[in-house]
Structure formats: structure tokens, C-alpha cells
Amino acid sequence: MKSHIKTAEIILSALPYIQKFRGQVFVIKYGGAAQTDEGLKSDFARDIVLLQLVGIKVVIVHGGGKKINSLLDKLNIESHFEDGLRVTNKDTMEVVEMALSGLINKEITSLLVAHGARAVGISGKDDGLLRASAFNLEKYGFVGKIDEVNEAVINALLKEDIIPVIAPIALGANATSYNINADLAASAIAAKLKASKAIFLSDIKGVLDKNGELISKLDEAKIAELKNDGTISGGMIPKLEASLECIKAGAKAVHIIDGRVAHSLLLEIFTDEGIGSVIR
């Protein structure tokens, strides 16, 4: 009997958050181990179904670096990174688009539907959702910076209680395809939608201090301090810069959480303590 009471208490503890977030938009960037481990993939899908059932409007933006690497290796196409961005020539771009818009996007959509969600897979090219230009053509190739987010297709899907699953491929001039960093795409979309939350699933606990301990709350001043003293570096810098831009554009909060933890989304959203870093 005690275990049943404890279960009821856990469920009831989530009630204030369910009431608070019902009808609000969450943009979730899905990648890392949560996207490749079979158990975590199933946990993620069930978490998303629950969020949808309690009335949260979910938008998913996904990456797919490991699948892209695997396909490039099979095709003997060399690839490397500069400043955390995949240098993308024409051959690489074809593989990136095939992997993201085709294989990965449809796999995620199918998984969500199989678990009971309503979901539709699209890319940033559909209905001109993401329009972009070259970030630095000579240095990075077909890596794009987002110039415009056309949220109409997202809002149309959300109005019908359908989860948009978005591959971060953008449309450029002359129908050129651009590879967009998934973190930046999620941030731009969350900013345009003025989302209640943007949530990044990563392969670390969150933002860590020099002792490897989690920093649970950050703001612009704290992030500047961590950059200046070298505490944060590499790929975390563009993630946090994108997070700040997202907040300034109207999103209420950005969360960076450990996607390797089962049901990390629910633990972050529906508990007082959360498990990751929050930028406000």
C-alpha cells in the first residue's frame, strides 16, 4: 500500500507543472546518445507522448551527426569540423540532406507515431520554414546561417495537435540547400515562436564548472564570466550564445539537460529540482 501511495504522490507532484505548461510551446532539440541508444529512444518517444497528452505543444528539431558520419564513411567521403561546425562541400551536403531529411527524420517520426503521438516529419526547406545564406562559404562550405523563420507551417501543425519533427536543412537562394547546426536551428525556431521553453538534450549533465559540477542556473553575466575564464569552450560556446539570443528574442527559458538519463525530459520539466542547467 505504501508504494501505491508513493506513486500517487509522485504523480500529484507533477500537477502544478502540468497546469502551468498546458497550451504552451516547448521546442526540443533531440540528439546525442538519446537519439542512438534504443532504450533512450523509446523513453524519449514516451516522454513526448506524455507531454502531448497533457496539452504541451511540442516542436522537435533533431541532429544526426553519428548517422551522417557513418554514411560518409561508407561512401568514402572525408569530413571534418571547424569551430564545432561540419565543413560541408557539395558531396557532403547531399549526404547530410539524405541522412537528416530522409533516414533520421522519418525514423523519429515513425517512433513517435508508433508510441501513440501524432507527428509529421518535415525539413526546414518545406514551405520555406528556414531560409538561410552561407555562413562563410570559403571556410565552411554549405553551412548556413538562418536569415528567416517562417513559422506558418509549424503553427498549422500545432493547431491540429500534430508534433512537427524538423530536420535542420534550410533553403537558400536558387534552391540551394544549407546544413544548419541543430542547436542554432532549435534556438531560432524557439525564438520565433516565443516558446515557453527550449530544451537541448546533450551528452553531458549540463553546463559544468571547472570542478565538473553542474551549474544549475545561468544568465548573460554568468555566461560571459565562464567564457572569459575558459570554463566553457568548444561546442558549448555556440550553444550558450544561441541560448542567449533565444531568450532575448522572447523565449522564456532554455534548458540544457543530459539526454543519457532515462526520462530526462520529465525530470527537468515536472520536478522542482530539475536535472540540468537553465538559462534565463
Q: How many CA atoms lie within 13 A of 126 on its CB side?
A: 17
Q: How far apart are CA 41 and CA 46, in angstroms?
A: 9
Q: How confident is the model at residue 56 (pLDDT cuts 50, 70, 90)?
A: very high
Average pLDDT over residues 187-206: 92
Q: What is each CA distance from 10 to 4, 5, 207, 274, in whole angstroms?
A: 10, 9, 27, 14
- pLDDT, one tens digit per residue, over 117-128 is 999 999 999 999
| pLDDT band with cut points at 50, 70 and 90 for residue 186 | very high
This prediction's pTM: 0.92
Per-residue model confidence as pLDDT tens digits over 62-113: 998 888 888 888 998 888 888 778 888 899 999 999 999 999 999 999 999 9
Q: Which residues are annotated as a binding site for substrate?
A: 64-65, 86, 179
Q: CA 154, 119, 40 angle in degrees (round to 5)?
A: 115
With cell 575558459, the residue in question is 230
Are 29 and 63 spatial neighbours (Cβ–Cβ below 8 Å)? yes
Residues annotated in the binding site, as ranges?
64-65, 86, 179
| Residue environment code for 21-42, b if the CB has 16+ CB neighbours within 10 A, otherwise e | beeebbbbbbbbbbbeeeebbe
What is the SS3 assignment for 233?
A: coil
Give the span between the Cα atoms of 257 and 242, in whole angstroms: 16
Q: Which domains does the chain have, with CATH numbers?
A: 23-279 (3.40.1160.10)
HSE-CB of 262 using CA atoms within 13 angstroms: 4
Helices (H), 163-263: 182-193, 220-228, 236-248
Residue 263's pLDDT is what? 92
The residue-averaged pLDDT of 11-27 equals 89
Give CA separation, 59 vs 30, 56, 124, in Å.
Answer: 10, 10, 13
Q: Are 179 and 144 in contact (CB under 8 A)?
A: yes
Average pLDDT on 11-32 reads 89
Q: What percent of the chain has pLDDT over 90?
A: 59
What span, in angstroms and rounded, lies between the C-alpha atoms of 147 and 133? Answer: 7
- Asked if 51 and 117 touch (Cβ cutoff 8 Å), the reply is no
Pairing of strands 169-171, 217-218: unpaired
